[in-house]
Structure 1
Amino acid sequence: MEGLNNTLINEFILMGLTDRPGLQKFLFAFIFFFYLLDLCGNLLIVFLVTKNPSLQSPMYFLLANLSFVDILFSSVTVPKMMVGFFKKNTISVKSCITQMYFSHVLGGTEGVLLAVMGYDRYVAICHPLQYITIMGRSTCIQLVSASWLTGFTYSLVNTIMTSKLPFCNNQRVKHFFCDVKPVIKLACKDIHLNEIAVTTASGFISTSTFLLTMLSYLYIISHVLKIRYSKGGSKIFSTCSSHLALVILFYGTAMCTYLGSASETSLEKDRIAAILFTVITPTLNPIIYTLRNSEVRNSIRKLIKR
């Protein structure tokens, strides 16, 4: 990243969530608790899917990949944030750009992966007889690879443009990690093109994947309504509604964060939204996606008995 050679400052200061000592201790305990749940829950899902022969279907393969992405996504941002609760939280400009790149890679990958999982549920519920044929192993691998490729490509746009900006005197990043909007706000040149790039790239990836996911669930809901009086239809609707709530939480907070301008008011709201999609959603994903799943519960029981 050539632009890093032209920076006038060597490091940023991450301002975190608050500077009030009492509130900092509470937030540290709260976030640390959710981060541990995130790691334990998602690692458990990855372990069960890779080791249990009964969990080798496309749905669990995609779920394990989502859990893997969630582990990385939280780990890129949360540990650095927790350090800031106890001391001045500095980060070099190069490390800041690197953190920004990987957080957007993982966020973009998760967005596409959720759309893929929505399509997987649509095929399983609306076309069960063709499910294995349509969602074969090679197809699943291709879809997951496409998710990662999209994440890597999307992140390059914002990261390269940000790395070309000169940073002069202001070192204070009003966030708990190096996100693109609060970082470009510190540049000592016009950032109009950067703001357009953020809105365009983030808007396209979040809106398109959200609409594709919603389309899958609309077809699912339409199908379920036809069998609503049966026990099976009620169970499907209950499970899908839980999944849909998480999808709306993830996409909703992401779109609110990246589709607005880099104003002071917007940056304050973005920090709250970022807590939701970097800490809360990754923790809830393994719980919600497996809560009503008897196969996963049986696998956990067998693991405990061992």
Structure 2
Amino acid sequence: MDIGNHSMVTHFILMGLTDQPELQLPLFLLFLQIYIISMMGNVGLLLLIGISSQLHTPIYYFLSNLSFIDLCYSSVIIPKMLVSFVRENIISYSGCLTQFFFFCTFGIADCYMLTAMAYDHYVAICSPLIYNSAMSQNICFLLVVGVYAMGVFRAITHTSGIARLSFCGNNVISHYFCDIPPLLKLSCSSNYINELLVMLLVVINSLITTLSILISYAFILSSILRIHSAKGGSKAFSTCGSHLASVAVLYGSIVFMYCQPVSTSNITQQKVSSVIYTTVIPMLNPWIYSLRNKDVKDALRKIRKDWSK
């Protein structure tokens, strides 16, 4: 199918992180290691939460789902990324849209899962007497269903917008996966509506989730300040520290990546920002939550003791 003197694109070539040959092998080994660590951490946390009855609580139910999302998120991006380091990385048009859809689904679900976890912290610290009823099994299940539903709905919206674009002539994506900014730059059709839609949805998602998290932590901080025991206040705040660290890094990289016009964005900065939220954060999350969490450490010790017997 032709448009003028150009042929419609049937496949894309992903350029990867760098075109410098001397960096290909070191980067391949680095990101292979990141992927392995990410898989081990997230699968390990999923198994630990599933095996340990003491971790069958709402917060660990959310954390197990966060690990599942990070597991899928990494698997959508990193394996295809590794191909770019060893050979020409070709992806079909339909494959590109599929990767983009699942990238959006799990990326957006990640944000909303962190919001659900913030709400759980809020109820646990600010309203401990009604915690069991407010965070019942049914309510937790509905919250998780809502998280995945928001991810799928937003992903369908973004993917539909990309699918309406025309790609003709140049088919080289200056990135290591199919993302919005490089695809918009590559398109030969008008991008104004799509850029506006991207920024609007990112702002809406960011506002909904960020405001919910900030409001939750404002009430949490107020409750902590009213705790007379220094030990009690320290314990309450330590349960939120890991979550706040994940939120800060994730939202910082996302806002930097998407809340700027495509025409003025820098490709290198885009790649660096993308690496943070597509590879580094899914790797760090399980270790942040396990290494800083007394309950997880106690569950590990109990399992080791049971196995040693």
Instruction: Provide the TM-score with structure 2 as the length reference.
Output: 0.93
The answer to whether the Cα contact below 8 Å between 1:12 and 1:172 also exists between their aligned partners in 2 is yes
Deviations 1:260-295 (A, max 9, x none): 111364333121111111111111111222223222
The CA RMSD over aligned residues, in Å, is 1.5
Shift of the alpha carbon at 1:229?
4.8
| Partner residue in 1 for 2:266 | 266
Number of equivalenced pairs: 300
Residue identity opposite 1:99 in structure 2: Q
| Partner residue in 1 for 2:100 | 100
Give the Cα separation in 1 of the matches to 2:14 and 2:114: 30
The answer to whether the Cα contact below 8 Å between 2:242 and 2:288 also exists between their aligned partners in 1 is yes
| Partner residue in 1 for 2:8 | 8
1:77-226 matches, within 5 Å, as: 77-226=77-226
Give the Cα separation in 2 of the matches to 1:87 and 1:111: 33
Deviations 1:170-196 (A, max 9, x none): 111111100112112111111111111
| Partner residue in 1 for 2:253 | 253
Deviations 1:98-122 (A, max 9, x none): 1001100101111111000001011
Deviations 1:134-187 (A, max 9, x none): 000000000000000001111111111111211111111111100112112111
From the superposition, tell whether residues 255 and 207 of structure 1 become closer, same or farther in structure 2 (CA, over 3 Å): farther
| Partner residue in 2 for 1:282 | 282
Q: Determine whether 1:296 maps to 2:302.
A: no
The answer to whether the Cα contact below 8 Å between 1:12 and 1:93 also exists between their aligned partners in 2 is yes
| Partner residue in 2 for 1:4 | none
From the superposition, tell whether residues 267 and 208 of structure 1 become closer, same or farther in structure 2 (CA, over 3 Å): farther
Give the Cα separation in 1 of the matches to 2:298 and 2:139: 28
Give the Cα separation in 2 of the matches to 1:71 and 1:97: 20
Instruction: Note the residue ranges of structure 1 that are not aligned, 5 or more in a row.
Output: 1-6
The answer to whether the Cα contact below 8 Å between 2:242 and 2:292 also exists between their aligned partners in 1 is no
The answer to whether the Cα contact below 8 Å between 2:11 and 2:93 also exists between their aligned partners in 1 is yes
| Partner residue in 2 for 1:32 | 32
| Partner residue in 2 for 1:60 | 60
Deviations 1:210-240 (A, max 9, x none): 1211211122122212227521211322342
The answer to whether the Cα contact below 8 Å between 2:10 and 2:92 also exists between their aligned partners in 1 is yes
How much identity, in percent, do the aligned residues show? 39
Shift of the alpha carbon at 1:246?
1.4
Give the Cα separation in 1 of the matches to 2:163 and 2:185: 13
Residue identity opposite 1:179 in structure 2: D
Shift of the alpha carbon at 1:35?
1.4
The answer to whether the Cα contact below 8 Å between 1:16 and 1:85 also exists between their aligned partners in 2 is yes
* SS of the residue 2:266 aligns to: helix
* SS of the residue 1:90 aligns to: strand
Instruction: Provide the TM-score with structure 1 as the length reference.
Output: 0.94
Give the Cα separation in 2 of the matches to 1:224 and 1:38: 33
Shift of the alpha carbon at 1:10?
1.2
The answer to whether the Cα contact below 8 Å between 1:122 and 1:220 also exists between their aligned partners in 2 is yes
Residue identity opposite 2:295 in structure 1: E
The answer to whether the Cα contact below 8 Å between 2:114 and 2:243 also exists between their aligned partners in 1 is no
The answer to whether the Cα contact below 8 Å between 2:97 and 2:163 also exists between their aligned partners in 1 is yes
The answer to whether the Cα contact below 8 Å between 2:12 and 2:171 also exists between their aligned partners in 1 is yes
